[in-house]
Copies of this chain bind each other. A is one copy, B any other.
Amino acid sequence: MTDNEWHERGDALERVFTFADFSAAFAFLSRVAMLAEKMDHHPEIHNVWNKVTLRLTTHDAGNTVTERDRRLAAAIDRLVA
């Protein structure tokens, strides 16, 4: 379902997720959206067909990776475990 792990790229955690098709990719995004609202922390989302790239950074902390990003990353990982 997913092709790799979170990487720290510049000032963000980034991970690419690959699904069977757009429908499965968007269903995943709908779960990410619910998590983001629940945790009041929102990823940058990029989607092309069956691929989703998420970037997590904390704007309020000067665009650095903080504990809030790590908690959101862990919660997202549980969706695709």
A-side residues, CB < 8 A to B, are 22-24, 26-31, 33-38, 40, 42, 44-49, 79
Number of copies: 4
The answer on a CB contact under 8 Å between B48 and A47 is: no
What are 22 pairs between A and B in contact, CB < 8 Å?
A: A22-B33, A22-B37, A22-B42, A23-B31, A23-B34, A23-B79, A26-B34, A27-B27, A27-B30, A27-B31, A29-B29, A33-B34, A34-B34, A35-B37, A37-B38, A38-B40, A42-B48, A42-B49, A44-B48, A45-B46, A45-B47, A46-B46
B38, B45, B49, B79: the one within 8 Å of A38 (CB): B38
**In the complex the two chains form, what is the Cα distance from A21 to B47 in whole Å?**
19
